[in-house]
Amino acid sequence: MSSGQLIDQCVLGADFVNGVFQNRFNGEILGRFGSLGFSDWWLTAGCLAQTIWNLNAGRQSEADINDYDIFYFDPDTDWEAEDRVISQAAALFAHLPVRIEVRNQARVPIWYPEKFGFDYGPVHYASDGIDRFAYQTTAIGLRKDRNGSFRIYAPFGLEAAMSGQIIPNPVLPIRKVYEAKVARWKKIWPDLVIGPWPDDVKAVP
């Protein structure tokens, strides 16, 4: 699996994580999900970067964050196995007034073609899902290991998230997904600088 980097080994890592932890929900999730027994997992996507954008804009750290995404990897791709983990996480975080989305990345290639019309490709680690986000900017994962250390996975770095630069990641032809999401973000965080989806990437069939 991708082990990411220790915080002090990642450029801007300390500043980013200090900001992320100003949102108490991030801290609660990071501190507790590991108790479910998975070693390959990440708290990821908007809940991290959007906390930073809120702080940069002088807003409450948790404002307008739709959900908190947890990616984990389990080779058991039965729907029932994932559903058990979702139920366990729901009980674990029942005290938090936020929506937490828990997904086994090993199952994504099973349902993705029907939803989007093309193959997702093989998945071997939870971080594979982060690599395929439509936006480089939020392709970031954070987790607490069993030894208590925090690790960050940021294949495109942290600078764009810290500065509010939205950069597309056209590894999959999901232009509509990208454009719909960044249009919503721009309404909430008007200071974001949105990069265009490249024209040479084929659209979803």
Residue in 133, 135, 122, 78 with CA at minimum distance from that of residue 104: 78
Contact 163, 192 (CB under 8 A): no
The single-letter DSSP state of residue 22 is T
Which sign does the torsion angle of CA 120, 5, 140, 105 carry?
positive
Where do we find the tokens 């950069």? 167
Round to whole Å and give the CA distance between 108 and 87: 18
pLDDT tens across the length of the chain (205 residues): 578 999 999 999 999 999 999 999 999 999 999 999 999 999 999 999 999 999 999 999 999 999 999 999 999 999 999 999 999 999 999 999 999 999 999 999 999 999 999 999 999 999 999 999 999 999 999 999 999 999 999 999 999 999 999 999 999 999 999 999 999 999 999 999 999 999 866 544 4
Domain ranges of the chain: 5-194
pTM: predicted TM-score of the whole model, two decimal places: 0.95
Contact 46, 67 (CB under 8 A): yes
